[in-house]
Amino acid sequence: MPSADLPDIPTPPPPRPPPSGAARNRHPIPDESWPTANEAEGSLLFSPLRLASGLELQTRSWVPAMVPWRATNEGFVTPQVIDWYRRFAVGRPGVIVVEATGIRDVPSGPLLRIGNDRFVPGLRDLARAVADASDRQTRLLIQCIDFMGIRRRPEPRRFFERYLALRDAHREAVAAHDARVDVADDDAVRAALLAGGDALWTSALDARELESLRRGHRERVTDVHLPHVAELPEVLPTLFGDAARRARDAGFDGVELHYAHAYTMASFLSRTNARDDGYGTTLEGRVRLPLEVYRAVRDEVGADFTVATRFLGDEVIEGGSRLADAVWFAERFAEAGFDALSISRGGKFEDAAEPKIGAAVYPYTGPSGHACMPTVFGDRAPFGVNLELAAAIRRAVRDAGHTTPIVGAGGINGFAVAEGALQRGDIDLVGSARQTLADPDWFAKTRAGRGAEVVRCIYTNYCEALDQRHEAVTCQLWDRWAPHEGDAKPLAEGPVDRSSDGRRRLIAPPEGWRPTRSR
């Protein structure tokens, strides 16, 4: 719960998905008035920015981290990973943030890892490819993340026979349900529980057990009865520090510490963190580990290496943190010395949809997930809807006497909303993920006065659905594109890697392409 000194700041309402079963209204993509080349050169979007670390950004365009599912199952960089980031770099954004990259040396599927020195050579190749493709105009950060343990939703038989630790309450519930069962016989109790169905399960299982059955077991930072969870404050600063050192050794320009969404560090910041060991409950306790991690990272990499963070302006869950919490945290992060603060929203496990049996819960399927990545099918148009959180945080940081740049994101797919937010002083850097996936050249086209050629994201979250299934992420506007199809002039292109089923290309076509479909 929050401390008494939490500022009195109302939280803007988040965008909401349509009610289940209701007809979906589709918000149109707004018309755009693109700048001429001269107008673009005089804009804030294409002006430079120097960070406190000394890093010079050529423009204020920022590509947030997106997980493309192209690493090996051991976490190594692949040619497909390099192609993915190289294609973004051709468009020369000011900053690219490489996908969430695990700081532990443990299996985590086809996600990049940085938990051991053996990952450095591949990451070095990635950093070199981005520098070369952008003619060293794009700065490269890597997002460092820690995960808590999570299991796939089990079959009921597997859950009751293997996972459930029997308690007296289970035996009592079974006895009340069916007096014929020998409750001294563990196998009989498990069989009775399995056969009892929902009616028995809801009365016999506690909330965590029922969650494990219906959604899969998920660890929390408050599970301090587990030694490896209790010791997180002891081990995470070193793990993050070592990861940042490897990023510097690999040639990255900086790191972004992932303090957002459904993961470990965000869970420490959350109002739901009730740890009573000094690392939870109060605002000071909740921010303690994030600040200790920052200091460990800074000690490893020095003052001249960029250290940013991404955190939530609003958790959008019952009992979760709100904008007032984020403002308080932002002031502490700025005071500590972070070089940039990137603001997101939602994306939590607590309100995610129940997964199918055999699948893992996905934190972007519930209301908080929609708030994180709003679509054209929500209760309001998704364009720039989360900028108001970043604006409030920036005002508070400036009022506290800090100049830390604020990255705003969420549905930015045109020059007007980007430049307007900069001109108003709402943000300092423009984060654009899905739009940059749709057209990696959109910043370059806009700067050259060719905005009419920009392929604009249509915000149906086709890409997010692929991510949910852990499939290679692509955009529906180009993943079926072929050379010469619908283009003003023929485009030459060599062999292109495709998805495992051979149906989708894995990178956007070369500049000059036109989309083959729009829905």
Q: What is the set of active-site residues? A: 263
> H-helix or E-strand containing 139?
strand 139-145
- Helix 232-249 × helix 120-133 angle, to 10°: 50
Q: Which residues of 409-430 are buried (b: 16+ CB within 10 A; e: fewer)?
A: bbbbbbbbbbbebbeeebbbbb
Cα 355 to chain center, whole Å?
19
Three-state DSSP state, 468: helix
**In which region does residue 152 sit, left (phi positive, over 0), alpha (psi from -120 to 50) or beta (all else)?**
beta
Q: What does residue 119 show for φ and ψ, rounded to 5 degrees?
A: -85, -15
Cβ atoms of 377 and 17 closer than 8 Å: yes
The two three-digit tokens of residue 461, written as one number: 């979250």
Q: What does residue 415 show for φ and ψ, rounded to 5 degrees?
A: -70, -40
Burial of 519 (0-12, 13-18, 19+ CB in 10 A): exposed
CA angle 102, 104, 105 (to 5 degrees): 110
Q: What is the DSSP string of 56-80?
A: EESSSEEE-----S-S-TT----HH
> H-helix or E-strand containing 144?
strand 139-145
Cβ atoms of 302 and 271 closer than 8 Å: no
> H-helix or E-strand containing 231?
none
Rounded to whole angstroms, the Cα distance separating 437 from 431 reads: 12
The two three-digit tokens of residue 212, written as one number: 């494990």
164 bridge partner residues:
none
The two three-digit tokens of residue 359, written as one number: 């699948």
- Fill in the amino acid letter for 246: R
Q: What is the dihedral angle through the alpha carbons of 478, 483, 486, 488, rounded to the nearest 10 degrees?
A: 120
Rounded to whole angstroms, the Cα distance separating 396 from 386 reads: 16
- How many helices (H) and strands (E) the chain has is answered by 18, 10
Rounded to whole angstroms, the Cα distance separating 301 from 293 reads: 12
The two three-digit tokens of residue 24, written as one number: 């979906």
Three-state DSSP state, 160: helix
- Fill in the amino acid letter for 449: G
